[in-house]
Amino acid sequence: MGGINIVQSPISTERVVAFTTLRLGGVSQAPFNSLNLAGHVGDNPDHVAENRARIADYLPGCSPPVWLEQVHGVRVVAAHDVAAGEMPVADASWTSRPGLPLVILTADCLPIVLVNRAETKVAIAHAGWRGLAAGIVPELMRHLGNPQDLRAWIGPGILQPAFEVGSDVVRAFVGSLGKQVLSCFQQGVESEKFYADLPALAKIDLQRAGVLNISGGTWCTATDSKKFFSHRRDGLTGRMATIVALLP
């Protein structure tokens, strides 16, 4: 079995493992080359299965991850209540059960990982602009206790120079988070186009929810084609996985 390449999260400790896979080290063929972990993008299912099997080396003693059918919404599930083999429609999950990995797939959207200070709860969210503007962060916070006891990590996603959006995206965030978010948008050459700083928007959302310890948000999926899949850049492409688990 081949090794995979990851971005290790600073949230990782002796009791918590958290990382994002890179696109390297798998068996998928172009345009999904090589460590595509998504089964819904048209890749060979056998290749996806082999790629997913390679993750197990980074999750010693853990059960299979809980995968989600992501829809850019705000539904949160308790992963320990999900039946084996079930893939619930949701964009975030949490658990207090050791040995149960949580996973989301991304190819430009932000993965947000959270762990509490006592390292007894972990959570993960698929946070594209739609999910952030709709309230995925505060919805997830309802399950995690005191937000000041949480550490948050924002994994690889599309960064501002590559993320052109319309004025509708600006209005959506102003409506949900207030005018303070205007600093997260730069006017483009065209009057109706802007460049959005998605990690900055996520940080505002997390801070508004009471989370003070936030790291990450520095890797751009769209501008690094060797390391990351990017839907905005390539269209038909694979997905990275971001995973967090309490170690057994």
Per-residue confidence (pLDDT) for residue 1, from 0 to 100: 39
- State the average pLDDT for the chain: 95
For range 46-55, the mean pLDDT: 95
Task: Read off the pTM.
Answer: 0.96
The DSSP annotation for 186-223 comes to EE-SSTTEEEE-HHHHHHHHHHHHT--EEEE---BTTT
**CA distance linking residue 120 with residue 246, whole number of Å:** 7
**CA distance linking residue 153 with residue 48, whole number of Å:** 26
Q: What is the pLDDT of residues 109-143, one digit of tens each?
A: 999 999 999 999 999 999 999 999 999 999 999 99
The DSSP annotation for 95-150 comes to E--TT--EEEEESSSEEEEEEETTS--EEEEEE-HHHHHHTHHHHHHTTSS-GGGE
Identify residue 36 by its one-letter amino acid code.
Answer: N
Give, as one character, the DSSP assignment of residue 82. Answer: S
Residue 19 sits at φ, ψ, to 5 deg, of: -165, 165
Chain CA centroid to CA 179, Å: 25
- Interstrand relation of 110-116 and 122-127 (parallel, antiparallel or unpaired): antiparallel
Please give the CATH architecture assigned to the domain spanning 6-157+214-246. 4-Layer Sandwich (3.60)
Residue 112, class by beta-carbon neighbours within 10 Å (0-12 exposed, 13-18 middle, 19+ buried)?
buried
Q: Check residues 207 and 3 and name the one with the higher pLDDT.
A: 207
**CA distance linking residue 116 with residue 139, whole number of Å:** 16
**CA distance linking residue 128 with residue 158, whole number of Å:** 9
Q: What is the pLDDT of residues 74-122, one digit of tens each?
A: 999 999 999 988 999 999 999 999 999 999 999 999 999 999 999 999 9
Find residue 166's DSSP bridge partners.
Answer: 193
Residue 244 reports pLDDT greater than 90? yes
**CA distance linking residue 175 with residue 118, whole number of Å:** 35
Q: Helix, strand, or coil here: 66?
A: strand
What are the residue ranges spanned by the domains of the chain?
6-157+214-246
